[in-house]
Amino acid sequence: MKIIVGLGNPGEKFDGIRHNVGFEILDYLQKEWGCPSFAKHKKFNAQISEGRSDPPADSEKSKFLLLKPQTFMNLSGESVAAVLDFYKLSPGDVVIIHDDLDIALGKYRLATDSSSAGHNGIQNIIDRLGTQKFRRIRVGIGEEVPGEASRCRLNAHDFVLQKFSQDDMEKIRSIKKEIAEELKKFL
């Protein structure tokens, strides 16, 4: 079994904000891959949708979970650790999708065995799992400035809690299919 985790903050007031891009991509995957609606699982303090990759449909190896922790971003490791413990999985069986200020909006990067780079949700997962040896898809939410690395206009806390503009959402939509294809390789 594989676990695909999208990071975000629960609640309607956080819908459409930059920090919730992980939830946004999981919603896309759930629909695109024909998985059932997300359902709350108290044991994991998460919303989960279960799917299967390739046949045979009864194979445990083809099973995967889409997981949206409901602990708020900075405590995401609680849900991730609970699911891995319950299913007796290793950090290598998980991929985390999260926002990254250091990457320009509309771009993403794959990472394995890398530090949190100041992302509190990722740091909490590293702390709870006792390792940083898991896969990540770092989705850019930063501002691209020609000739410079990505940067944000406000302090990071305020910036990540801003809603995406329509133009910003188009840039995110443009990479969802690519991310879905990357994830199929993981499954």
Active site residues: 19
Cβ neighbours of 69 (radius 10 Å) = 29
Amino acid sitting at position 56: P
Domain that holds residue 96: 2-186
Count structural domains, the chain: 1
- The pLDDT score that the predictor gives to residue 2 is 96
Nearest to 112 by CA among 127, 82, 91: 91
pLDDT of residue 107: 95
Each residue's pLDDT tens digit, 52-86:
987 655 566 789 999 999 999 999 999 999 999 99
Mean pLDDT of 106-112: 95
Each residue's pLDDT tens digit, 126-164:
999 999 999 999 999 987 655 555 554 557 777 787 888
Q: What is the pLDDT of residue 58?
A: 56
Q: What is the pLDDT of residues 14-64, one digit of tens each?
A: 999 888 999 999 999 999 999 999 999 999 999 999 999 876 555 667 899
At residue 160, the pLDDT reads: 80
CATH code at position 40: 3.40.50.1470
Q: 73 Cβ partners below 8 Å, 6+ apart?
A: 7, 8, 9, 19, 120, 121
Tokens 């879905």, residue? 180
Output the pLDDT for position 61. 73
From residue 107, alpha-carbon distances to 13, 54, 143 in Å are 25, 28, 11
Question: Over 80: is that where the pLDDT of 114 sits?
Answer: yes
Tokens 């250091």, residue?
102
